[in-house]
Structure 1
Amino acid sequence: MTIAVLVLPEAARANDSVYTDLDLDQCQTLAEDQMGVSLKCRGYRGEPVYFKEGDLRQSVFYGRVDKELIEGAFESFSAFNHINTKIEWRLNDAGEPFAAILRWFIDNPGPEGGSTKASRGEILVVSRVGTSDYGGSCMVALVDAKANADANVKARQIADDTAQDFACGMQEPEWVGKRGDLVSERTFSWPEGYVVE
């Protein structure tokens, strides 16, 4: 009598998430003037988080980023904006972060001029984390958090699918899912001649 044994392939291991808080008051000041500030903060397991603010807009880069980007790059949105304080890091099988997800608030004016909860846009920004082998960090994908009920799931999926191979300076981040009226166009400034290959 022969017994057949069905062997099912092992399911692919899902990437893990860990979370850190971004407390700008605990960051090291790299540069400051009347126009804005540049800070170096601590992320997951001490990974650097580089924060900049200027003209009521903010910019964030993650990981072991090239000096040219730290000093000369700015990636944000055309509308006034600010970031949330909770960073979600996506980890590979070795437990190393390869992507970061951060919620940005787009400060659209409300009926009385100031930004309100109803008028404010929310974007989950997926970014590549710089490593010792690749010193680029940039926005990989954008998810309208108000227009998509499953925005967090979408952000994690696109992070897992594209962040590790995304070519900063050569590829444009994509909008994923529905896009409502409260979001804003991405803006960026890269150092002259800087392209990460």
Structure 2
Amino acid sequence: MSHKSTKLMVIAVIALTLAGADLPGAVAQGAQNISSYTSTAEKDCRTISQGETADDGGTRLCHGPAGLVVIVSESDLRETVSIGRTRKAAENEPAASAWFGPFSSTTPTIEWRSAEKGRPFAMIQRWHIADIADEDKAGRPIAKQMLVVTRLPPGAVCHVAYVDVKANANDLAREAADTLARDFRCGTDKIKAFGVSGRATELALP
């Protein structure tokens, strides 16, 4: 190899190194991320408090991967879902008070995103948001579906992005989890509609 070729190769390597230094999380995001699944169905969880009325479903504790616990609470026909190493930790996270104005509920499957052989860094769950402006023949609000991306410890647990199911594919929610969750600052960064906004994300975002 000529001296000129060697010099050009060295310059190229330096340029690539510097480019990587300017991209936070570039190595982690470039790695292969995988999904695993757990259930928050009542039969798979433990009830830790009962609601006093039919509109108050109480609270249940469910098991997640890597020692995480999931707290699902319902009050006034609105659910919240939070994650922590312990029940107390989960109940003190921002996600524990992240409820929506319209009536809302979750489906019982959680998708966990993690790097290969690593702890999960984000979760994805499907929500149903009641749309009082769109009623069925019986006068009941028709629910709009949305995927909620939530960041996980270390750091605070909070919603990161909302993906409208009707307007987007599930892969887009995984992309939001993989690219946004780890560096998202709860209470500082703004939750965003990821991809094409739809009626569900319009109802969810203030």
**Greater share of residues in helix:** 2
TM-score by length of structure 2 reads 0.72
1:110 corresponding residue in structure 2: 136
Please give the alpha-carbon distance, in whole angstroms, between the structure 2 residues aligned to 1:98 and 1:129.
5
1:70-89 correspondence runs (5 A): 70=91, 73-89=96-112
Does the CA contact (< 8 Å) of 2:151 and 2:181 recur in 1? yes
Please give the alpha-carbon distance, in whole angstroms, between the structure 1 residues aligned to 2:160 and 2:193.
9
TM-score by length of structure 1 reads 0.75
Q: Deviations over 1:58-102 (max 9, x none)?
A: 010123268365058421221111101111100124321110000
Does the CA contact (< 8 Å) of 1:130 and 1:137 recur in 2? yes
Number of residue pairs matched by the alignment: 177
1:21 corresponding residue in structure 2: 39
1:107, distance to aligned residue in structure 2 (A): 2.6
Q: Report the 3-state secondary structure (helix = DSSP H, G, I; strand = E; otherwise coil) of the residue aligned with 2:99.
A: strand
1:83-102 correspondence runs (5 A): 83-102=106-125
Alignment RMSD, CA only?
3.0
1:193 corresponding residue in structure 2: none
Shift in alpha-carbon separation, 1:66–1:128, aligned structure 2, 3 A: farther
Gaps of 5+ in 2: 6-15, 17-29
Does the CA contact (< 8 Å) of 1:65 and 1:137 recur in 2? no
1:46, distance to aligned residue in structure 2 (A): 4.1
Please give the alpha-carbon distance, in whole angstroms, between the structure 1 residues aligned to 2:77 and 2:88.
24
Equivalent AA in structure 2 for residue 40 of structure 1:
L
Equivalent AA in structure 2 for residue 138 of structure 1:
C
Please give the alpha-carbon distance, in whole angstroms, between the structure 1 residues aligned to 2:190 and 2:87.
19
Match 2:163 to one of 143, 146, 152: 143
Gaps of 5+ in 1: 188-197
Shift in alpha-carbon separation, 1:20–1:68, aligned structure 2, 3 A: closer
Q: Which has the higher contact order (CA 8 A, sep 6+)?
A: 1
The answer to whether structure 1 residue 185 and structure 2 residue 204 are counterparts is: yes
Equivalent AA in structure 1 for residue 120 of structure 2:
P
Q: Report the 3-state secondary structure (helix = DSSP H, G, I; strand = E; otherwise coil) of the residue aligned with 1:77.
A: coil
Q: Deviations over 1:29-62 (max 9, x none)?
A: 3334424412221122442011110010101012
Identical aligned residues as a percent: 35
2:58 corresponding residue in structure 1: 37
1:172, distance to aligned residue in structure 2 (A): 2.4
Please give the alpha-carbon distance, in whole angstroms, between the structure 1 residues aligned to 2:150 and 2:119.
15
1:170 corresponding residue in structure 2: 188
Shift in alpha-carbon separation, 1:99–1:20, aligned structure 2, 3 A: same
1:192 corresponding residue in structure 2: none
